[in-house]
Amino acid sequence: MKREEVFNFSAGPSVLPVEVLETAGKEILNYGGSGMSVMEMSHRSKVFQEIFDSTKAKLKAALSVPDTHEVLFLQGGASLQFSMIPMNLMGELGTGKADYAVTGNFSSTAAKEGKKYGTVNIAASSEDRGHTYIPAQQELKLDPDAKYFYYCANNTIYGTEWKYVPETGSVPICCDMSSNILSMPIDISKYGIIFAGAQKNMAPAGLTVVIIDKSLAGHEMSCTPLMMSYQRMIDKDSMFNTPPCWNIYILGLVLDWLEKQGGVAGMQKIKHEKAQLLYDYLDNSKLFKACAEKEARSDMNVTFRTGSDEMDAEFCKGASARGFTNVKGHRAVGGMRASIYNAQPIEGVRALVDYMKEFEVAHV
């Protein structure tokens, strides 16, 4: 198939803006008259330092990052942060404790990892209803002595999204925003740490963005590995070793594209319109049903099913044949999932809904 014949609904790595790919393609052999690709140049060179500084400034501007917080460009994926956060924030090994809200697969994994370093209190869990909802503020069982409160803002597997920022008093909030960062304005000052794997809304896989309140750094466990100290990475401006240079460059291009869409405020309107197209159809369908409870539905990952595993499989096969790729739900839950991150054009969502209507007519 040609690219224009495909709409990629992958949960990650996900679709990138065509404009970004075209620019990167034009510059891949010779960036800015340097005679080199960004993939070839030294991370210590003046030309890459300019790329790095520009991208960092664009991200800080896009998210209105205050001076109290630092932006880090790290590696290891969001999953490395499951360990890095407790090692840096819990105090010495085995002495600290933290609150975790478990609302899906990744927050569950993070909580298990946190238990290796201290005491983990499950402040809330949505497991009782198959992770189809988000616990309300009054349902959070918070420990005022916790070193931090941890949650995952958007759950890619189950299709749920937190619609509020938890109130935790003086306890810092650590949040995994891998799948909804840059899709809406954020009050960064409410968070101790925000982190995100880049491969959904920002850049190719391999870059992890961390936004950290600088006052939380410098208190890591004595056993913390060299590369897992936030303070060391702040001191070295993310360049203790070679950073993911190409991905940082792509992030800069994505941020340029985002600005043309009206920034994060403009993207919030666009992403809600895309999601509403799908949910409006699902709410009126006689065949397809949305999986997540209405108040907790994600604008990034729309999960749905027919109620029949065989029919779900038939739908996914037909979708793939028509160029709608990666609509099969995660292996842990089955069904279908349409991931409609920032770069997914609204035309793709409209086309998918048209196919769903066609499939419904043929099966009801």
Cβ proximity of 51 and 42 under 8 Å: no
Low-confidence ranges of the chain (pLDDT < 70): none
Can you tell me which residue has the tokens 């998918």?
A: 352
What DSSP element (H or E) covers 196? strand 193-197
Identify the pLDDT of residue 138.
Answer: 98
Q: Give pLDDT tens digits for 71-85.
A: 999 999 999 999 999
* Domains delineated in the chain: 22-259 (3.40.640.10), 263-363 (3.90.1150.10)
CA distances from 131 to 11, 99, 160, 263 (A): 17, 18, 8, 31
Q: Give pLDDT tens digits for 5-23.
A: 999 999 999 999 999 999 9
Can you tell me which residue has the tokens 């410098």?
A: 218
> Which tokens sit at 152?
């995952």
Other CB atoms within a 10 A radius of the CB of residue 80 amount to 18
The amino acid present at 244, given as its one-letter code, is P
Alpha-carbon distance of 146 to 121, in angstroms, equals 9
Identify the pLDDT of residue 191.
Answer: 98
Identify the pLDDT of residue 147.
Answer: 98
Alpha-carbon distance of 50 to 292, in angstroms, equals 44
Identify the pLDDT of residue 4.
Answer: 87
Alpha-carbon distance of 238 to 107, in angstroms, equals 25
Identify the pLDDT of residue 1.
Answer: 87
Alpha-carbon distance of 115 to 129, in angstroms, equals 24
Cβ proximity of 168 and 136 under 8 Å: no
> Which tokens sit at 353?
């809904």
Cβ proximity of 160 and 103 under 8 Å: yes
Identify the pLDDT of residue 109.
Answer: 98
Give the residue among 240, 162, 256 at the shortest CA–CA distance from 203.
256
pTM of the predicted model over 0.75:
yes
Identify the pLDDT of residue 82.
Answer: 98
Alpha-carbon distance of 101 to 110, in angstroms, equals 10
> Which tokens sit at 87?
């090692």
Alpha-carbon distance of 95 to 270, in angstroms, equals 45
> Which tokens sit at 232?
């060391």
Alpha helices (H) along 14-145: 18-27, 46-62, 77-89, 105-114
